[in-house]
A and B are shown apart, each in its own frame.
Chain A
Amino acid sequence: MKVDKTPLPGIGMRKDIVTSSGRRIGTVTQRDGETALIISRQDDPDACLVSIPLTADEAATLGNLLGAHQLVAQLTEEHRDLPGVNTRQFLVAGGSPFDGYRLGDTLMRTRTGTSVVAAMREGKVEPSPSPDFILLAGDLLIVVGTAEGLDAAADILSGG
């Protein structure tokens, strides 16, 4: 995918891609690190429909959501021939009891039979995280298991 990088002298940098539907989506990063999500207007591709300021946390989470979407789709595709095996993504929310704890502390595999196959943080994938992996708010966990197991895993992550 080609990312257009356009310097904005005195302000920062614009990075955007053109989607197959012809919309420009990207970010404007200012010198002081302030980042905004931009989406082009439909009737005027030169202009922006919105320019939404994002904090570092929000940008990382958004990146995870979009990146994980693809990862989950890929895993689901691979598990298609195995009935009963599901893939789901869970966000470690800000108030999660496991924010700052080890993945092993959740006892997820023992209690629900599910496995965390990947964790996404700030747009990067950590494949097969070990039990020592420290969970942080904003992380996105890609979990494989049965439907019931996944429901139970969701309860654990949100409530403990």
Chain B
Amino acid sequence: MSWERRRAWTPPPTSLAAAETGLEPDSALTLIELGAVFFCLGILGRLAGRIGLSPIPLYLLGGLFFGHGGLIELDGLDQFSEIASEIGVILLLLMLGLEYTAKELVTGLRQSWLAGVLDIVLNFTPGAVVALLLGWGPVGAMVMGGVTYISSSGIVAKVLTDLGRLGNRETPVVLSLLVFEDLAMAVYLPILTTVLAGASFVGGLQAVGISLVVVTVVLIIALRFGTVVSAVVDSKDREVFLLTVLGAALLVAGVAAAMQVSAAVGAFLLGIAISGATATTATRILEPLRDLFAAIFFVVFGLNTDPATIPPVLGFAVLLALITAITKIATGWWAARRHGVGRLGRARAGVALIARGEFSIVIAGLAVASGAVTGELAALATAYVLLTAVFGPVAARVVEPVMGWLQRTPRPQRLPAG
């Protein structure tokens, strides 16, 4: 469990001195290592694009490959990567918030809350149960439940787009489930932060109360005064705009963290409050930054996970992946059926939800960084996300032939062309 050694991040005392005296050997090493890591990630990303895969699992693998217990130890990266991966999480959540307007969130919540609750029950439980079986206690259960609950909206949206399913009838059902999950994150993350900080049951309840109130207030502000918030950060100048948005995000995240509401959630809520054309521009400008810092986040998570800890938990990871694939399919099937979608569409909806990704790693990352859970949890989460992030998109591709084979019913006669 070597990752524990580098857990606490201390501000680099030499950085100012280094700036004054030019590059020191240390920073040369950092540059070389950072460059090498980015370069390798670039190659991995290209490979992922070639085989139509999300780059996230490859970034994790890349992180495992280097780092503690891996082939090469990268010690020069500690200072930079700690804060960079935190910014990565903030940007991931900010962009997630930017994707949705407050109106979409409210209608999504209204339309899909029943399916959303089923989603929580079916998919949170397996992770929690396995964590308890492994003796990781209630905190571990809460973390693993979150890891297995949340689908990767990034991977799902990419798969739906790549397979030309945006116009399908089941797609809005899938998307509104994702909306529900993301909103659930806004409540879950603050609770998790409090619990990880070792708060009591009452403290946890307090966090739930605070986060519910904050989420509601932000939704109301975004619905009523979204244009005002947007006007504050908006600017015609790209550079000014970038600095304002990024500055606002880090400020809000920092304040949220200081209030124990989780930095990531602060950024998410800011994203929701920014709307309209401002949100579109912000998305375009921040996308490259998000890609960069999120990549660092995934790699750092992989770096801090000792590959040697994975084989002992691999069996559980496979078991969890199988069970939660089935529970996600059940969720999607049920939700799509409620909207009058046919059997094939229901299967497509369910399978689309299998992939877990960025947010499972965000949850596991928070837990590991707090030191409140065992290092095996990082290994299990890594293996689990790797499995589902690779298997999910593949399953989405083959679901139609498989369903056809399962049903073995002749296709309906072709109607005269219309």
Using CB atoms and an 8 Å cutoff, list the residues of chain A in contact with chain B. Answer: 6-12, 14, 16, 19-24, 26, 28, 30-32, 36, 38, 40, 42-48, 50-51
Q: How far is the CA of A50 from the CA of B166 in the complex (A)?
A: 11
Q: Which 7 A-B pairs have the closest CB atoms?
A: A21-B418, A38-B167, A46-B345, A51-B164, A46-B169, A10-B99, A48-B167
B99 closest partner in A (C-beta): A10
Asked, given contacts A7-B172, A9-B108, whether A46 binds B99 with beta carbons under 8 Å apart, the answer is: no
B413 closest partner in A (C-beta): A43
Q: How far is the CA of A23 from the CA of B100 in the complex (A)?
A: 30
Q: Is B342 an interface residue (CB 8 A)?
A: yes
A21 closest partner in B (C-beta): B418
Contact of B107 among A7, A12, A32 (CB under 8 A): A7
Q: Is B411 an interface residue (CB 8 A)?
A: yes
Q: How far is the CA of A21 from the CA of B344 in the complex (A)?
A: 21
Q: Name the B residues within 8 Å of A26 (CB-CB).
A: 167
Contact of B172 among A6, A38, A47, A50 (CB under 8 A): A6
In the complex, per-residue mask of B154-188: 1 if CB is within 8 Å of any chain A CB, else 0: 00010001001111111110011011000000000
Q: Name the B residues within 8 Å of A7 (CB-CB).
A: 104, 107, 172
Asked, given contacts A22-B418, A44-B344, whether A10 binds B167 with beta carbons under 8 Å apart, the answer is: no
Q: Do residues A9 and B418 form an inter-chain contact, with CB atoms below 8 A? A: no
B107 closest partner in A (C-beta): A7
Q: Name the B residues within 8 Å of A11 (CB-CB).
A: 157, 161, 166, 175
Asked, given contacts A43-B411, A43-B412, A48-B164, whether A31 binds B280 with beta carbons under 8 Å apart, the answer is: yes
Say which size band chain B's interface belongs to.
35 or more
Q: Do residues A16 and B157 form an inter-chain contact, with CB atoms below 8 A? A: no
Using CB atoms and an 8 Å cutoff, list the residues of chain B in contact with chain A. Answer: 99-100, 104-105, 107-108, 153, 157, 161, 164-172, 175-176, 178-179, 280, 283-284, 341-342, 344-345, 348, 411-412, 414-418
Q: Do residues B175 and A9 form an inter-chain contact, with CB atoms below 8 A? A: yes
Asked, given contacts A44-B342, A46-B342, A46-B345, whether A10 binds B179 with beta carbons under 8 Å apart, the answer is: yes
Q: Do residues A22 and B415 form an inter-chain contact, with CB atoms below 8 A? A: yes
Contact of A47 among B157, B165, B416 (CB under 8 A): B165
Extra inter-chain contacts (6) besides given A14-B172, A44-B344, CB under 8 Å: A12-B166, A21-B415, A22-B415, A46-B168, A47-B169, A48-B167
Q: How far is the CA of A22 from the CA of B105 in the complex (A)?
A: 32
Q: How far is the CA of A19 from the CA of B416 in the complex (A)?
A: 13
Q: Do residues A36 and B341 form an inter-chain contact, with CB atoms below 8 A? A: no
Contact of A14 among B107, B166, B176, B411 (CB under 8 A): B166
Q: How far is the CA of A36 from the CA of B165 in the complex (A)?
A: 11
Contact of A50 among B164, B175, B411, B415 (CB under 8 A): B164
* Min distance, Cβ A23 to any Cβ of chain B, angstroms: 6
Q: How far is the CA of A36 from the CA of B166 in the complex (A)?
A: 9
Q: Do residues A10 and B104 form an inter-chain contact, with CB atoms below 8 A? A: yes
Q: Name the A residues within 8 Å of B105 (CB-CB).
A: 9
Q: Do residues B176 and A9 form an inter-chain contact, with CB atoms below 8 A? A: yes
B177 closest partner in A (C-beta): A9
Q: Do residues A47 and B348 form an inter-chain contact, with CB atoms below 8 A? A: yes
Q: How far is the CA of A28 from the CA of B99 in the complex (A)?
A: 17
Q: Do residues A8 and B166 form an inter-chain contact, with CB atoms below 8 A? A: yes
* Min distance, Cβ B342 to any Cβ of chain A, angstroms: 5
Q: Do residues A45 and B169 form an inter-chain contact, with CB atoms below 8 A? A: yes
A–B Cβ pairs within 8 angstroms, 28 of them: A6-B172, A8-B172, A9-B176, A9-B178, A10-B99, A10-B104, A10-B175, A11-B157, A11-B166, A14-B172, A21-B416, A22-B415, A22-B418, A23-B418, A24-B169, A26-B167, A31-B283, A32-B284, A36-B166, A42-B415, A43-B411, A43-B414, A46-B341, A46-B342, A46-B344, A46-B348, A47-B169, A47-B348
Asked, given contacts A26-B167, A47-B344, whether A32 binds B280 with beta carbons under 8 Å apart, the answer is: yes
Q: Do residues B345 and A47 form an inter-chain contact, with CB atoms below 8 A? A: yes
Q: How far is the CA of A69 from the CA of B179 in the complex (A)?
A: 41
* Min distance, Cβ A1 to any Cβ of chain B, angstroms: 16
Q: How far is the CA of A122 from the CA of B105 in the complex (A)?
A: 33
Most-contacted residue by chain A among B164, B170, B172 (CB, 10 A) = B164
Q: How far is the CA of A127 from the CA of B323 in the complex (A)?
A: 64
Q: Name the B residues within 8 Å of A46 (CB-CB).
A: 168-170, 341-342, 344-345, 348
Q: How far is the CA of A24 from the CA of B165 in the complex (A)?
A: 14
